[in-house]
Structure 1
Amino acid sequence: MGRYFIDCREMPSDKKCTLAMAADTEKELMEAAVQHAVAMHGHTDTPELRGEMKKVIHQGTPPAAAPRAA
């Protein structure tokens, strides 16, 4: 089993957030990422938000260099 990660730098944001997080399962990662999006970016936990986040979940570990923004 590999790791999964999501990098805030890939999501459109006025805050220029540089947080990246990783977990052993997509479910665990999604829950943490949604909590971050709600608490720090003011999003509402909706199926649409989760769908957009699912698009930027990757296998492996976050890169040191900034990825291209969505």
Structure 2
Amino acid sequence: MTRKFIDCREIPSEMNCTVAISADSEKELLEAAVQHAVAVHGHRDSAELRDMIKGAFKDGNPR
């Protein structure tokens, strides 16, 4: 199984967030990333948000 990650530095934001989240499963990563997007960035949990987040997943570990 390949580890997956998402890195906020690759997604433009006004707060210049530097958080990167990684997990062994896409499901676990998606839930953590959605929680971060809602709590820190003020997004609303929606199907569109989840699709956008899933589209930013990468294989491996953040640098």
Interval containing the TM-score (normalised by the shorter chain): over 0.9
Match of 2:11 in 1: 11
Match of 1:57 in 2: 57
AA in 1 matched with 2:32 = A
Match of 1:32 in 2: 32
AA in 2 matched with 1:5 = F
1:3-54 residue CA offsets vs partner (Å, 9 max, x unmatched): 1000011122111000001000000000000000000000000111111111
Runs of 4+ in 1 over 6 A off after TM superposition: none
Q: Structure 1 length as normaliser, TM-score?
A: 0.85
AA in 2 matched with 1:34 = V
- Residues in 2 aligned to 1:47 and 1:12: alpha-carbon distance in whole angstroms: 20
Match of 2:22 in 1: 22
Cα RMSD of the aligned pairs, angstroms, is 0.7
Structure 2 unpaired stretches of 5+: none
Structure 1 unpaired stretches of 5+: 64-70
